[in-house]
């Protein structure tokens, strides 16, 4: 694979000591070899990218996205969660075929990579998850993907998404067999029961068992919306996270999106078992769900990571937008030191790697870790003058400031140009298939 050198930037390592240093960041055979100072290539097989005026940092990790929903951008505005699902998102997902799913995933991954997101935890739809993996394989993004599991006999779920418990588990296992560990470990599988209300108890309990046996993540949603929580309480007579825990779904391999409305017992449970909370501030605001108590959860020792959720509830997949929003959103309630800039930047990078079980692999620039690295241009008028890179990254930078992106030491974006896919073709395909899917609806 040779060597990739980010030359002459300000390196924000996100290592434990929060080191910031100047110089070169060198990746050799996909792995970080040197951080700072001047690097001399050790062979003739090397590539140098100019990082002058840039912060060089770990790629952003978005621990909750739906790349399958991207074609529904702008189609489900101004609705609350349960209406949003029933009126638009479920019918849309039910109408996706293989080519439309591929177009949606490719569009999402183009946006994510160009905006500096190098790793995702992605919930697919019920069908066509192979197309999502295939898109990630080509795009070069690090992706942990799971098919959405929806076996509840609920008439609100459209026919195109209904599945039996047996079929849901069998398809999940088949996808895990085919894709977990593919592309040199860059692609992984996660069981993804959509949320308690879309699943039977039998399915949830079986997911809890199989995830532990196979050493796979569980990715789900919980406690996002008050109507959802009331429906869960009506079914179980207990709070959402307690119901999941009693079905065997909690622990450091479990990633739960939202957790906006939690009881004291649920917070204690998250902290005790190491279950990860995936904070999606734009989505929670736009769906009128509420504001998760992120600084309070972190103070209690709960692991929190960040994600943009999906295009129909955000409407971007911009990791910098989520980072800035997470940094400012909690200040009115908790105070100006609620989530200081370095803590917010850590939330968007290292914390995501921890939630994905990749803490030793990505999320910090340390020799021996994988070369998932971005260079963020700090010379734009909206960032100038810059004396503090943490402040720039948390409060001023945008996705469009991302100049270079590498995953596994392979350059995927160079000078803001996507190298792994033809962006014009991705955009054309997205428009074409979006039109086709919504015409069918």
> 24 vs 309, which CB is nearer to Zn ion?
309
Q: Identify the sign of the CA torsion 338, 342, 348, 352.
A: negative
Q: Which residue is nearest to Zn ion (CB)?
A: 309
Cβ atoms of 211 and 203 within 8 Å: the answer is no
Instruction: Quote the CA–CA distance of 60 and 361 in Å, as a whole number.
Output: 13
Work out how close the CB of 283 gets to Zn ion at its nearest, in angstroms, rounded to a whole number: 7
Q: Where are the beta strands (DSSP E) in 160-246?
A: 187-193, 217-222
Work out how close the CB of 132 gets to Zn ion at its nearest, in angstroms, rounded to a whole number: 14
Cβ atoms of 59 and 373 within 8 Å: the answer is yes
Work out how close the CB of 53 gets to Zn ion at its nearest, in angstroms, rounded to a whole number: 36
> 120 vs 399, which CB is nearer to Zn ion?
120
> 51 vs 256, which CB is nearer to Zn ion?
256
> 131 vs 309, which CB is nearer to Zn ion?
309
> 130 vs 309, which CB is nearer to Zn ion?
309
* Closest CA relative to residue 41, chosen from 51, 30, 27: 27
Work out how close the CB of 308 gets to Zn ion at its nearest, in angstroms, rounded to a whole number: 9
Work out how close the CB of 66 gets to Zn ion at its nearest, in angstroms, rounded to a whole number: 5
Work out how close the CB of 25 gets to Zn ion at its nearest, in angstroms, rounded to a whole number: 33
The DSSP-derived string for 398-423 is -GGGEEEEEETTEEEEETTEESSS-H
> 65 is written with which tokens?
């996205």
> 257 vs 373, which CB is nearer to Zn ion?
257
> 33 vs 85, which CB is nearer to Zn ion?
85
Instruction: Quote the CA–CA distance of 92 and 437 in Å, as a whole number.
Output: 7
* Closest CA relative to residue 421, chosen from 115, 139, 187: 139
> 298 vs 317, which CB is nearer to Zn ion?
317
> 35 vs 304, which CB is nearer to Zn ion?
304
Pairing of β 402-407 and β 373-377: antiparallel
> 6 vs 84, which CB is nearer to Zn ion?
84
Instruction: Quote the CA–CA distance of 271 and 91 in Å, as a whole number.
Output: 36
* Closest CA relative to residue 119, chosen from 67, 63, 70, 69: 63
Residues 6+ apart with CB under 8 A from 337: none
Work out how close the CB of 313 gets to Zn ion at its nearest, in angstroms, rounded to a whole number: 7
Work out how close the CB of 282 gets to Zn ion at its nearest, in angstroms, rounded to a whole number: 12
> 61 vs 376, which CB is nearer to Zn ion?
61
Using CA atoms, how far residue 369 sits from 108, 215, 407, in Å, is: 26, 21, 11
The total of other beta-carbon atoms located within 10 Å of residue 415's CB is: 11
Work out how close the CB of 281 gets to Zn ion at its nearest, in angstroms, rounded to a whole number: 13
CB-based burial of residue 374 (10 Å sphere; 0-12 exposed, 13-18 middle, 19+ buried)?
A: buried
Positions that interact with Zn ion (CB under 5 A): 257, 309
Entry field: residues in the chain: 441
Our measurement of the distance from residue 13's CA atom to the centroid of its chain's CA atoms, rounded to an integer in Å, reads: 20
Question: For residue 104, how many C-alpha atoms fall within 13 Å in the half-sphere facing its CB?
Answer: 35
Work out how close the CB of 50 gets to Zn ion at its nearest, in angstroms, rounded to a whole number: 37
Work out how close the CB of 255 gets to Zn ion at its nearest, in angstroms, rounded to a whole number: 11
């Amino acid at each position: 694979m040779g060597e990739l050198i980010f030359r002459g930037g300000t390196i924000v390592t996100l290592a434990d000591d929060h080191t910031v240093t100047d110089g070169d960041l060198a990746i050799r055979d996909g792995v970080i070899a040197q951080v700072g100072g001047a690097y001399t290539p050790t062979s003739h097989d090397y590539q140098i990218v100019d990082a002058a005026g840039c912060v060089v940092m770990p790629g952003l990790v978005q621990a909750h996205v739906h790349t399958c929903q991207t074609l529904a951008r702008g189609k489900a505005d101004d609705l609350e969660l349960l209406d949003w699902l029933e009126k638009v998102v479920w019918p849309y997902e039910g109408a996706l075929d293989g080519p439309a799913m591929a177009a949606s995933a490719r569009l999402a991954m183009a946006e994510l990579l160009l905006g500096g997101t190098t790793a995702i935890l992605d919930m697919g739809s019920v069908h066509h998850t192979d197309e999502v993996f295939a898109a990630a394989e080509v795009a070069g993004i690090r992706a942990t993907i799971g098919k959405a599991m929806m076996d509840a006999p609920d008439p609100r779920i459209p026919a195109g998404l209904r599945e039996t418990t047996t079929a849901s588990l069998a398809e999940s296992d088949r996808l895990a067999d085919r894709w977990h560990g593919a592309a040199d470990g860059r692609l992984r599988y996660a069981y993804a029961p959509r949320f308690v209300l879309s699943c039977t108890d039998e399915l949830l309990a079986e997911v809890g068992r199989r995830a532990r046996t196979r050493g796979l993540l569980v990715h789900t949603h919980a406690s996002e919306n008050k109507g959802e929580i009331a429906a869960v309480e009506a079914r179980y007579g207990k709070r959402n996270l307690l119901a999941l825990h009693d079905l065997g779904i909690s622990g450091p391999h479990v990633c739960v999106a939202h957790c906006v409305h939690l009881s004291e017992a649920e917070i204690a449970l998250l902290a005790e078992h190491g279950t990860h909370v995936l904070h999606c501030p734009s989505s929670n605001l736009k769906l009128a769900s509420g504001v998760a108590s992120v600084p309070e959860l972190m103070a209690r020792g709960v692991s929190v990571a960040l994600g943009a959720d999906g295009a129909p509830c955000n409407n971007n997949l911009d990791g910098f937008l989520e980072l800035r929003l997470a940094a400012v959103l909690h200040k009115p309630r908790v105070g100006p030191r609620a989530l200081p800039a370095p803590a917010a930047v850590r939330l968007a990078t290292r914390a995501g790697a921890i939630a994905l079980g990749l803490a030793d692999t990505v999320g910090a620039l340390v020799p021996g870790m994988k070369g998932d690295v971005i260079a963020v241009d700090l010379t734009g008028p909206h960032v100038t003058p810059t004396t503090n890179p943490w402040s720039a990254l948390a409060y001023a930078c945008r996705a469009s400031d991302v100049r270079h992106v590498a995953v596994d030491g392979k350059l995927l974006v160079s000078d803001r140009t996507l190298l792994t896919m033809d962006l014009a073709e991705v955009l054309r395909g997205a428009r074409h298939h979006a039109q086709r899917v919504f015409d069918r609806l």
